[in-house]
């Protein structure tokens, strides 16, 4: 459907890109997210704006790659890299806001209205993260604080995408078994999540039955008192 590709691309872009060759992982991540969003727009047209944002990010990735190549050739690319860096960061904010708004709408379309609050919470977390980012640029707060806040909202969005991947499917596939992923970690995590959800559902069912039993018992006692 597309969420799986967005999930993989997001992980590549915002987690593995922290390595030495981050620009390469970002390029791969942008490409995966773009393809995933391209597929998603057939089901939810409002993801189209998110797709445009990712394509713009892909261009910054090409700019990063070019800067690295010219740097290896001994060229001064500091100014160009700075421009690309801040442009990329601005586009990351735009992408997240557009993607999360689109996901909010998607939840409504598929009837998962109770999940809308997750998208709103993530939007607030991303915006708050950028407030700390600006404060760090202005030297008002430590850079490590901004990085920590960014890590928090990045993980939040990652799990939101994972939830979409697990719960939103094309019409007609509602009763299909869980889709197996090619990534063992995702399969293990999905199984653990399903187990916890099943336990939560069972506890809720028992609580409801217990409340019904108590209500029935109380009603029966009142009837007996009335007869006396």
One-letter-per-residue 3-state SS of the chain:
CCHHHHHHHHHHHHCHHHCCCHHHHHHHHHHHHHHHHHHHCCCCHHHHHHHHHHHHHHHHHHHHHHHHHHHHCCCCCHHHHHHHHHHHHHHHHHHHHHHHHHHHHHHHHCCCHHHHHHHHHHHHHHHHHHHHHHHHHCCCCCHHHHHHHHHHHHHHHHHHHHHHHHHCCCCCCCCCCCCCCCCHHHHHHHHHHHHHHHHHHHHHHHHHHHHHHHHHHHHHHHHHHHHC
Banded pLDDT at 188 (limits 50, 70, 90): low
Looking at the structure, do residues 216 and 162 belong to the same domain, yes or no?
A: no
Same domain, 152 and 209: no
In terms of domains, do 186 and 168 share one? Answer: no
Position 69 scores a pLDDT of 81
Residue corresponding to tokens 């993530």: 122
Report the percent of the chain where pLDDT is more than 90: 42
Of 64-68, 140-144, 194-198, the poorest mean pLDDT is in 194-198
Say yes or no: 127 and 204 in one domain: no
For residue 34, pLDDT beyond 90: yes
pLDDT bucket at 129, cuts 50 / 70 / 90:
very high
Q: Check residues 154 and 22 and name the one with the higher pLDDT.
A: 154
Whether 37 and 47 have beta carbons less than 8 Å apart is answered as yes
- Does one domain contain both 187 and 169? no
Check whether 183 has a pLDDT greater than 60: no
Residues 6+ apart with CB under 8 A from 136: 142, 143, 145, 146
Quick one: 98 and 189 in the same domain?
no
User: Could you tell me how many residues make up the chain?
Assistant: 228
Q: Decide which of 142, 162, 177 is a domain's last residue.
A: 177
Range of the domain at 147: 3-177
Stretch among 40-49, 142-151, 186-195 having the lowest mean pLDDT? 186-195
Question: So what's the pLDDT on residue 23?
Answer: 81
Residues 228 and 117 reside in one and the same domain: no
Q: Is the pLDDT of residue 221 over 60?
A: no
Average pLDDT of the residues of the chain: 82
pTM: 0.74
Kindly report the backbone phi and psi dihedral angles of residue 94, in degrees, each rounded to the nearest multiple of 5, phi listed first.
-60, -45
Q: What local confidence, expressed as pLDDT, does residue 24 receive? A: 86
The answer to whether residues 146 and 220 belong to one domain is no
* Mean pLDDT calculated for residue range 113-137: 93
73, 63 Cβ separation under 8 angstroms: no
186 pLDDT higher than 60: no
Measure CA of the first residue to CA of the last residue in the chain; give whole Å. 66
Q: Quick check: 212 pLDDT over 80?
A: no
């Amino acid at each position: 459907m597309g969420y799986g590709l967005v999930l993989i691309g997001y992980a590549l872009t915002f987690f593995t890109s922290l390595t030495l060759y981050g620009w390469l992982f970002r390029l791969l991540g942008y490409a995966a997210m773009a393809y995933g969003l391209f597929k998603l727009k057939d089901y939810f047209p409002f993801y189209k704006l998110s797709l445009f944002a990712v394509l713009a990010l892909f261009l910054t990735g090409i700019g990063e790659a070019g800067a690295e190549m010219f740097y290896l050739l001994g060229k001064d690319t500091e100014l160009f890299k700075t421009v690309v860096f801040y442009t990329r960061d601005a586009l990351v904010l735009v992408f997240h806001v557009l993607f999360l708004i689109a996901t909010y709408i998607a939840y409504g379309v598929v009837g998962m209205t109770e999940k809308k609050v997750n998208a709103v919470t993530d939007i607030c977390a991303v915006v708050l993260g950028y407030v700390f980012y600006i404060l760090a640029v202005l030297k008002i707060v430590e850079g490590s604080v901004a990085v920590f806040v960014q890590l928090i909202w990045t993980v939040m969005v990652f799990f939101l995408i994972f939830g979409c991947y697990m719960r939103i499917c094309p019409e007609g596939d509602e009763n299909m078994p869980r889709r197996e992923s090619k990534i063992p970690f995702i399969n293990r995590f999905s199984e653990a999540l399903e187990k916890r959800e099943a336990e939560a559902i069972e506890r809720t069912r028992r609580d409801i039955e217990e409340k019904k039993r108590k209500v029935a018992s109380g009603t029966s006692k009142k009837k007996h008192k009335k007869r006396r």
